[in-house]
Structure 1
């Protein structure tokens, strides 16, 4: 196999799909250089990703399995330090991961998610009512006014975050995925975010409510060995951030895909494609998480024609995996609702499958049809090429989504 120099990852995420296509041409596993000149590997191939996600020789725990971090070579000035210092499912391995997963997965059982549908429907209706008050023809940022506040409200209600605290507690997760921040900003965000979450937990400990944060605290107090204080805070970091950012991107990406592919939207309007088709094809072609850190080889592993050495960090390129031509053919980059095989790994795989997947799907199943029912003539307010990507290579999203709503289609 031809040896290529590491591809220096564009920390601005200016063209994620083009960058990942370049990596894919180098093979299903390719060398990259992360911000801070940190060497790593990127997995862009579907079969290779299945192996990484299912192989216990790939750990998520930097404290145990990233020698460079243990030796102090990865300091607080590393721009992705927030992804290393977390103490939750994203950095746990083996029995620790299984224990944390059991505790948090209870929040997202099918029965519990089904019980949340009325709340999601109310939040959707209220946000669309607010949009209906926009003057006719006036551009509105659908990401800021709908795609973000819906999942933010749902996950905050689930974990009992008061409305007046939501912006601050969610801001830490937003900064954490912005890969254009300086090392100083990244380190300051970690410190601030941890402090804010500790303060939130202490308030909940003093005044518990009918919410999942209070449930986690009660479980911790009933048996302190089950969830450490650091794990409790880290779990809340993870739940609030992943319950908002990826779902926001998924909503915005789905709307953007339909508005830039009017022939595909027409299939939905005619009933020739379903909203589930829209959701799954968006997950495949526009996975909301682009390039997720980190995994670490616990021993030398042969994968995709290369050898990943023990201790080397690995990122899984979910935005590339759904577009793998070996799975979806020459047209893998096209957004096609009629595609029979919409195979993707956007929610992960196996024991690393996203525990919030049922909730995310429920939010999309409610939000998308209701948005287009209320505003069937929704259209972009700018030319497609004027829409800029989110400033990150970790997420695959839009900086904003300016639209014109058009006349209301009814309230159903």
Structure 2
């Protein structure tokens, strides 16, 4: 018989998968308590999550469909209030979401990805040269020295963010994924990053370029009907955040899994295992986004035998859905690139599927295809048990990935 104990979410995300199993013990859709005492629903089942993600009766707009927020009864000190205050693709619904998505989707076409690839390859090569300078036996954090700067460079080049703004814009945007911050700390960070975004938008109005922010500004200023100012700023900030955090986590998680599984690592190096299979299995078993706020039922909706009342918040547990034993069997938590069925929801599903999926996949392919053969002797610099999760329940990756690179392979 299933337990019906409400799980209180740990804001530090110290044990994402252990917590997921405690939630799952109450069924694929279960009550949870968020930081600040806010009650919500968590969807851990794969099929239940697919249904919620595709069901138009679940909205992303808190202003219209989160009863406590819309009626002003939500405590303004709620630590995750920033997720309700954004105005972008993640907080829009229906026609508004369709309009915003249409403006952004064109930046991530297959053709544009082909055009971006040489720049990603060049950025990767520069970062690998810098890594080689660390030498074979000095520990280096691959997350902060490789995965993060690559992801930040690629998305900022696409958006047209000047070098002088990049670190501040990225640092401020991290506030929405650090679930240990207080509401005051989150508000201060959001205020700083909004000011930077205002400066960026003003610069693009003054001197537009061949970049996505300039395209969005032109759409806003063309007839005023495409984007309002809040949506424009919110969309820019969303793209910076979603173009960095999930990608760097995907890279860090993939590298960690290979270093924890030397047989798979060797198979990739000798061509016996396709890197694409490794990345796909990492997405399934180590989703870079773990537990994402928010959706809101626009009416009472029954999912997996549970009725989610109108106006209540719902979180999709992407990390848990990828390890659902009802889909992937009793070894769902095992990393196995040879697994035939690697279905997951790491990039979402339905109309809210991540528009940047082609870019993330391309970055992972370029970065890992260059890094792994460059440093074939690479190994962890710490014991596996010393790897710590990053300080959030929303994202899923090690906080750092210290490695010893070993000798670099000769270059042609």
TM range (shorter): over 0.9
Task: Return the offset for 1:266.
Answer: 2.3
Map of 1:165 onto structure 2: 165
Map of 2:276 onto structure 1: 276
Q: Which runs of 5+ in 2 are unaligned?
A: none
Map of 1:125 onto structure 2: 125
C-alpha contact (below 8 Å) 1:178/1:392 kept by paired residues: yes
Task: Return the offset for 1:3.
Answer: 6.2
Map of 2:184 onto structure 1: 184
Map of 1:240 onto structure 2: 240
CA distance in 2, matches of 1:64, 1:52: 18
Map of 1:406 onto structure 2: 406
Task: Return the offset for 1:261.
Answer: 1.1
1:175 matches 2:175: yes
C-alpha contact (below 8 Å) 1:348/1:354 kept by paired residues: yes
Q: Could you give the per-residue CA deviations for residues 241-261 of structure 1, whole angstroms, max 9, x where no partner exists?
A: 000000000000000000011
C-alpha contact (below 8 Å) 1:76/1:187 kept by paired residues: no
SS in 2 for 1:331: coil
C-alpha contact (below 8 Å) 1:14/1:389 kept by paired residues: yes
CA distance in 2, matches of 1:410, 1:93: 53
Aligned length in residues:
412
CA distance in 2, matches of 1:207, 1:76: 38
Map of 2:317 onto structure 1: 317
Task: Return the offset for 1:356.
Answer: 0.1
Map of 2:355 onto structure 1: 355
CA distance in 2, matches of 1:102, 1:229: 17
CA distance in 1, matches of 2:171, 2:55: 33
CA distance in 1, matches of 2:262, 2:19: 26
Q: Which runs of structure 2 are paired with 1:13-412 in the superposition (5 Å)?
A: 13-412=13-412
CA distance in 2, matches of 1:343, 1:148: 26
C-alpha contact (below 8 Å) 1:89/1:235 kept by paired residues: yes
CA distance in 1, matches of 2:119, 2:40: 42
Q: Which runs of 5+ in 1 are unaligned?
A: none
Q: Structure 1's 2 and 343: CA in aligned 2 closer, same or farther, altered over 3 A?
A: closer
Structure 1 consecutive aligned stretches of length 4 or more whose deviation exceeds 4 Å: none
CA distance in 1, matches of 2:203, 2:395: 31
Deviates more, 1:129-138 or 1:383-392: 129-138
CA distance in 1, matches of 2:394, 2:8: 14
CA distance in 2, matches of 1:82, 1:156: 22
SS in 1 for 2:210: coil
* TM-score (ref. length: structure 2): 0.98
Task: Return the offset for 1:34.
Answer: 0.5
CA distance in 2, matches of 1:77, 1:67: 17
SS in 1 for 2:205: helix
SS in 1 for 2:354: coil
SS in 1 for 2:314: strand
CA distance in 2, matches of 1:136, 1:103: 46
Task: Return the offset for 1:5.
Answer: 3.2
CA distance in 2, matches of 1:332, 1:114: 34
CA distance in 2, matches of 1:248, 1:130: 18
CA distance in 1, matches of 2:410, 2:334: 32
Task: Return the offset for 1:137.
Answer: 0.3
SS in 1 for 2:40: strand
SS in 1 for 2:389: coil
CA distance in 2, matches of 1:358, 1:170: 21
SS in 2 for 1:235: helix
SS in 2 for 1:346: coil
C-alpha contact (below 8 Å) 1:373/1:410 kept by paired residues: no
SS in 1 for 2:129: helix
* TM-score (ref. length: structure 1): 0.98
